[in-house]
Structure 1
Amino acid sequence: MPFSRTGILLAAGLALVAGPALARCEDFVAQEKPQNTFAQNIGRSFETIEEEGWIEFALYEDFAPWSSLVAGEPQGIDVDIARLIAAELGVEPRFRLVAASETLDADLRNYIWKGAIVDGHVSDVMLHVPYDSAFTCRVEQAVFTGQYGAEALAIGYDRATYPDKGPVPAYFRFDPVGVENDSLSDFYLSSIGNGTMAAGIHRYRDTAAAMAALAAGEVGAVMAPLAQIEAALTPEMAVHQPPLVGLARGQWTVGVAVSQQHRDLGYAVDYAIETALADGRIAAIFAAAGVSHLTPER
């Protein structure tokens, strides 16, 4: 998995080590407004979406169990939530699986409010956007809404290696642990004890590869987001969420982003998600995927 899907949490203000708390937007400096420029209408309005009968969702590629191509068809939790949103709006869902950039800012710029240099159209809605109130203060071009779940760091482990109880990060000073390269788990474990765990950290292309290494006995544990671990568990494995000392936030809310020019679309999407949270349809999507539904902050 590229850097941004877990590294974006750092960009969104989730520091590895807790610091002094600030009031929301206390340190925000408003961006300078351009002068003598014409307004640009980027993307499709909610009215246009309803008239044309379809809506496009930007989803991360190769990101099981959230979104990926299986036999050429998009599948995953985020795909099912997108279908639910489209059904509530009475339109057809279309999917655009996109590569993660190095920062969340770049993803939002490329897929929501401006468009990339190559194939520069924007999508109507982007899913799986980590929500952080401080980050929303400085990104004025996007609206963050529709919080539908949460992610949390966890440790998946081999039951035979740890028969009595699950391992905690301190164990990995001596025991091999798998992480996705350049992920939040990688950064966190590398920061403990001034790098004393470095020799035991085995880095893999993505969490799926780390879990395959766990199944093959290359490592005794994997630290990664809970959903990705749960989706790859075998009967020989277990998962737990121990305290993560020094980590300011080990759980974060995910939702959607839309262009700030199309706030009415954001309201409609948020209402669809709120309704589906209340009647249990979103929880059922997670349950069908074998993944815990963590309650989002709304």
Structure 2
Amino acid sequence: MLRAAVLALMLAAGLAEARCEDHVPGARPQNTPREFVGQTLDEIVARGWIEIAVYENFPPYSWEEGGTPKGVDVEVGRIIAESLGVEPRFRFVQSGETLEADLLNYVWKGAAVGGHVSNLMLRVPYNSDFTCRVEQVVFTGQYAGEKVGIAYRTEAYPDAVPQANADGRHPGAPVPSFFVYDPVGVENDSISDFYLTATFGASAKITRYKTTLAAMEGLAAGEVWAVMGPLSQLEAGAGEGIAVHAPLLPGFGLSRWTLGVALHQSHRDLGYAVDEAVAEALADGRIAAVFAGYGLDFTPPER
């Protein structure tokens, strides 16, 4: 999932020296069936509910527990719905091969077989160059920042200082160069995997797992000494004897990114309302409180 979303932005970031400089606008979609377009803000308010797409089985961001939606993104969706005066209805969706595929399937067209678009989709990485490539989508409501961190077994690094510096690093804790010698877990084909492989090649002692959560389970079982991945996922999976820090990552151009909301380009009135709702929730601390409620550090977005 991280691969599908963030790698698309890594490619987009290198496409042009100036925003949209080399982009040739495509033909606007014509005669799009109404069921693929979604609903206007007035229609959403009139019917009393809004459908919000979130990724399935993706703690701490979005998952179901006993049929009840849980997670950071679910709570952000509830904040947006409350601001609009409607009920949130969450649609749990699978991650595709690319972010563009997810946006096509869930935001602006719908899957070829039995698909439909949702009014909003959350946890969409924002990159100004990438927005030029996906003209059918409005990217708005940036609600959080994310960054790559490292979780580690404290017994493996007894000299690590447990309190973070201002930059989020624990002095003495592992940094990427350690993983030439120390075993580290990563989600397979994630940006952490690519970074370590590109930086250290075959010298890196990497164990690849299906997900970051599985890597954290491997860390708890002692299979590896550390795990590298999105900071929030590391924090959510950290148990007794495991610490998490966010060291400086030299040469890692996309170790931090911004997350927001995506919706169909024909409903900009809804986009303005969503962005206003998010801005107010950032200003009064409600979104930061959501992260704190799940035991996570909150990184303000770049807006």
Instruction: State TM-score, norm by structure 2.
Output: 0.91
Q: Which of these residues, 171, 175, 180, is aligned with residue 168 of structure 1? A: 175
Whether 1:201 and 2:196 are equivalent positions in the alignment is no
The 8 Å contact of residues 176 and 249 in structure 2, kept in 1 or not, is answered as yes
- 4+ long deviations beyond 3 Å: 18-21, 37-41
Q: Which residue of 2 aligns with 1:292?
A: 297
Residue correspondences, number: 289
Contact 2:180 2:200 survives alignment (8 Å):
no
The one-letter code matched in structure 2 to 1:182 is: D
Aligned residue for 2:136? 141
Instruction: Give me the whole-angstrom Cα distance separating, in 1, the residues matched to 2:15 and 2:217.
Output: 39
Match of 1:211 in 2: 216
Q: Please show how residues 224-239 of structure 1 align to structure 2 within 5 Å.
A: 224-239=229-244
The 1-side partners of 2:302 and 2:155 are apart by 36
Q: Which residue of 2 aligns with 1:245?
A: 250
The change in CA–CA distance for 1:77 and 1:192 in structure 2 (over 3 A counts) is same
Distance 2:68 2:188 in 1: 27
Shift, 1:32, TM fit: 3.6
Judge which range, 24-33 or 132-141, deviates more: 24-33
Which residue, out of 165, 189, 192, partners 1:182? Answer: 189
Q: What's the counterpart of residue 274 of structure 1? A: 279
- Residue 78, structure 1, aligned to residue 73, structure 2: yes
Kept in 2, the 8 Å contact 1:13–1:134? The answer is: no
SS of equivalent to 1:87: helix
Q: Compare 230-239 and 131-140 and name the one that shifted more.
A: 230-239
- CA deviations over 1:151-193 (Å, ceiling 9, x no partner): 1000000111011221111111121101111111111111113
CA distance in 1, matches of 2:132, 2:268: 16
Match status 1:192 vs 2:185: no
How far apart are the structure 1 equivalents of 2:89 and 2:105?
Answer: 18
Which ranges of structure 2 fall in alignment gaps of 5 or more residues? 160-171
Which range moves more in the overlay, 238-247 or 219-228?
238-247
Give the aligned residue type for 1:48: E
Please name the residue that 1:62 is paired with. 57
| Residues 44, 33 of structure 1: alpha-carbon distance in 2 compared, 3 angstrom cutoff | closer
Between 138-147 and 169-178, report the one with greater CA deviation. 169-178
Q: Give runs of aligned pairs for residues 103-118 of structure 1, distance below 5 A.
A: 103-118=98-113
What does residue 165 of structure 2 align with?
none
Q: How does 1:23-34 map to 2 (within 5 A)?
A: 23-33=18-28
- CA contact 1:65–1:76 (8 Å) conserved in 2: yes
Per the alignment, residue 5 of structure 2 pairs with 8
Partner Cα separation in structure 1 for residue 245 and residue 72 of structure 2 = 21
Unaligned 5+ runs, structure 1: none
Q: CA deviation at 1:280?
A: 0.5
Tell me the SS of whatever aligns to 1:11. helix
> Could you tell me how far apart the structure 2 residues matched to 1:87 and 1:6 are?
32
Secondary structure of the corresponding residue to residue 178 of structure 1? strand
Measured after TM superposition, the shift of residue 6 of structure 1 is 3.1
Give the AA of the match of 2:227: V
Cα distance in 1, alignment partners of residues 145 and 44 from structure 2? 28
- Seen in structure 2, the aligned counterparts of structure 1 residues 50 and 9 have a Cα distance that, compared at 3 Å, is same
User: Quick one: which amino acid aligns to residue 126 of structure 1?
Assistant: M
Distance (Å, rounded) in 2 between the aligned partners of 1:195 and 1:114: 42
1:196 Cα deviation (Å)? 2.3
How far residue 194 of structure 1 moved from its aligned partner, in angstroms, is: 3.4
Alignment partner of 1:151 is 2:182: no
> Residue 20 and residue 136 in structure 1: after superposition, are their counterparts in 2 closer, same or farther (change >3 A)?
closer
Identity %: 56
Task: Provide the aligned C-alpha RMSD in A.
Answer: 1.7
